[in-house]
Amino acid sequence: MVGVGDDQQHRDDPRWAVAERVAEAARRRFPADVLAVAVHGPLAHGDDDGGGDGEVGLLIVTYRPDTGPPSTTRRVDGVLVSLTVVAAEERLRQARRLTSRWPLTADRYVTTRALHDPTGWLRTLRDEHLGRLARARPVEFTTAARIAWYRGSAAHARAARLAAWYETDQALLMLAEARLAAATVNGLLTRTYFRDPGDAIRRTGLAGADMTEVGAVLARQSADLAARGRPVDATIHDLLTP
């Protein structure tokens, strides 16, 4: 968790201004419901360029389920605001889960910047997630990586078929999905999380990778998973055995 600062850069950033206004309005309208309010993403990392054209990821944590405002996405004064509203216990449960998309979600638990957090709850959220990672067994990451690999392999095969049918636009979309899945597999096998999908693609060297290059990456990952005792291929008996 990153504490909120009061420097001139934040005051001048239109996204910060909108985030602070939303947080204040939520606290006024739902005073008995709001436990904490925070931003995640570039603003939480403190390296947003302040240009006013990026999305504000805003988290509102409530004491109880089904209270507070709805989760939604709206543009407010020209700033896109993605509002996630979740009960505290549910958010902690989410932080304890290790899924195939972990490399793309972990940053939201670990790096937040508080706009309202009088009880220090965001620190609890971060500690719950880090504690879960410390307890995770290698097989959990491998199993999650295999699921992500299947997603990438299916997208890559679909992209190849679409390209063969000269459905170029759809093929490019599927190829982008395959790149992201392959980046996610990399993150799971190395226990590395990313700030967002673009960061995942860049840091794994998959930005701009063509069909052949992505296929080669997936093939290497398949061999790596097999070497770790979790091959991607199985018999019918394996499929039906718990």
pLDDT digits (tens, 9 = 90+) for 73-99: 999 999 999 999 999 999 999 999 999
Q: Which two tokens stand for residue 110?
A: 């670990």
Cα angle 42, 93, 198 (rounded to 5 degrees) comes to 25
Q: Which two tokens stand for residue 79?
A: 């700033």
CATH of domain 8-135: 3.30.460.10
Instruction: Tell me, yes or no, if the pTM score tops 0.75.
Output: yes
Amino acid identity, position 103: P
Sign of CA dihedral 233, 220, 136, 87: negative
Confidence class for position 230, pLDDT limits 50, 70, 90 = confident
* Span 137-187, pLDDT tens digits: 999 999 999 999 999 999 999 999 999 999 999 999 999 999 999 999 999
Between 6 and 58, the higher pLDDT residue: 58
| Rounded Cα gap, residues 207 and 126, in angstroms | 30
Q: Which two tokens stand for residue 47?
A: 């390296």
User: Residues in the chain, how many?
Assistant: 242
